[in-house]
Structure formats: structure tokens, C-alpha cells
């Protein structure tokens, strides 16, 4: 209870910073921000907490988060998730074959509508078997379809939370990833 009270006091004392206690002392922490909505969103710079006290402070200054002139957050252009870790996290790990080469020239897929809410349609280049992975912003695989054949595929995604995802399609030789918005 005291930890929660300390957090509330820290927020009330400076509304542009949030102190998160309870982390391991003697450890440095990196803070990585990820846009969760729009393609035009620019993430604020990564943070670094090196005081090793077990408290991580999130800086929420308006100039970092593309706020409106009145200081309110425009969530159409500024909607973020963040990860606090012992190392900087900025790239999404690949799913499937980690060393798969990028798609050959001409090998591509289309997906529509994007953004979508319930259904996603994929147009694949041919009937070769492919694996389809849906990956969230943290790099976690949230859905997979293996051995998909045929030039068209209909995927039901209505059970997923709103936000930004990545669709990764791979075959025996190549892989390609595209961004998907679910609203």
C-alpha cells in the first residue's frame, strides 16, 4: 500500500513525470516507446534510468508526445506503449525462420482492408504453402496460420485488441512483413 501511495504522490507532485517503484535496485533500465495507432506517429526518444534505486521515472513532457497547444494529448497522432527492460528494445524479433531472406523481387502479398476491425483478406502471389503470423508491437506472436495454400485467404481477427500489428508471411525461401492497423 505504501508503494502505491508513493506513486500517487509522485504523480501529483509533477504531472509530467510518473515514478514507478518496485524494480530491482542496483540495475539500469531502458525505456522504449512504441506507437500503437497511426503510421504517422513518431515515438519519443528512448529513456535510460541509471540511478539504480529501483524506481523508474517516465517523462511525459508535452513536447515529447506531440501534444496540442493546450497540453492535451492528440491520441490520433500520439498513442504509445512502452517497455521497461534491462536492455534497449527497438526491433521486433522475427517469427518463423530467423534467417529467412527478404522477399524476392516480385514476391509480395496484399492485405485489405487496412485499417480493419473484424476481417482481413490476403492476396498471395501463388498457391505455394505459406505460414502467416500476426505479431503485436512487443514482438509477441498473437496468432499463426501454418501451411496456408491458395491465392486468397480470409482471416478472422475480431477477437484482437485495437492497435498496431505486423503480418508476416513466409514460405520455404522468403518472408515479408507489413503493418496492420486494427481499429
For 11-46, how does the pLDDT look when each residue is reduced to its tens digit (9 = 90+)?
A: 445 567 778 888 888 888 888 776 665 455 556 667
Cell output for 114? 487496412
Mean pLDDT of 157-180: 89
Mean pLDDT of 128-156: 89
Q: Sign of the CA dihedral 141, 163, 150, 97?
A: negative
Residue tagged 505455394 (cell numbers): 128
- Rounded distance between C-alpha atoms, residue 77 and residue 72, angstroms: 12
H-helix or E-strand containing 135? strand 130-136
Bridge partners (DSSP) listed for residue 132: 145, 169
Cell output for 93? 524479433
The vertex-79 CA angle with 177 and 47, nearest 5°, equals: 90
- Least Cα distance to 126 among 109, 147, 146, 141 occurs for 109
- Rounded distance between C-alpha atoms, residue 76 and residue 71, angstroms: 15
User: Residue 94's pLDDT is what?
Assistant: 41
Every domain range in the chain assigned CATH 2.60.40.3080: 110-182
- Rounded distance between C-alpha atoms, residue 123 and residue 7, angstroms: 49
Q: Which CATH architecture has domain 110-182?
A: Sandwich (2.60)
pTM: 0.47
Q: CB count, 10 Å around CB of 46? A: 14
Identify the band that residue 71 occupies on the pLDDT scale cut at 50, 70 and 90: low
Phi-psi region of 150 (alpha: psi -120 to 50; beta: other; left: phi over 0): left
Amino acid at each position: 500500500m505504501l508503494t502505491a501511495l508513493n506513486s500517487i504522490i509522485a504523480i501529483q507532485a509533477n504531472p509530467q513525470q510518473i515514478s514507478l517503484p518496485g524494480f530491482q535496485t542496483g540495475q539500469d533500465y531502458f525505456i522504449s516507446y512504441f506507437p500503437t495507432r497511426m503510421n504517422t506517429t513518431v515515438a519519443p526518444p528512448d529513456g535510460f534510468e541509471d540511478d539504480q534505486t529501483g524506481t523508474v521515472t517516465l517523462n511525459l513532457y508535452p513536447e515529447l508526445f506531440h501534444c496540442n497547444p493546450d497540453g492535451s494529448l492528440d491520441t490520433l497522432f500520439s498513442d504509445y506503449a512502452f517497455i521497461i527492460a534491462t536492455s534497449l528494445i527497438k526491433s521486433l524479433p522475427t517469427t518463423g525462420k530467423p534467417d529467412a531472406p527478404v522477399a524476392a523481387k516480385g514476391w509480395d502479398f496484399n492485405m485489405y482492408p487496412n485499417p480493419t476491425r473484424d476481417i482481413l483478406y490476403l492476396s498471395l502471389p501463388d498457391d505455394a504453402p505459406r505460414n502467416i503470423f500476426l505479431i503485436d508491437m512487443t514482438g509477441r506472436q498473437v496468432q499463426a496460420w501454418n501451411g496456408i495454400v491458395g491465392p486468397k485467404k480470409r482471416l478472422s481477427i475480431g477477437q484482437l485488441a485495437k492497435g498496431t500489428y505486423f503480418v508476416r508471411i513466409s514460405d520455404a525461401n522468403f518472408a515479408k512483413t507489413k503493418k496492420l492497423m486494427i481499429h
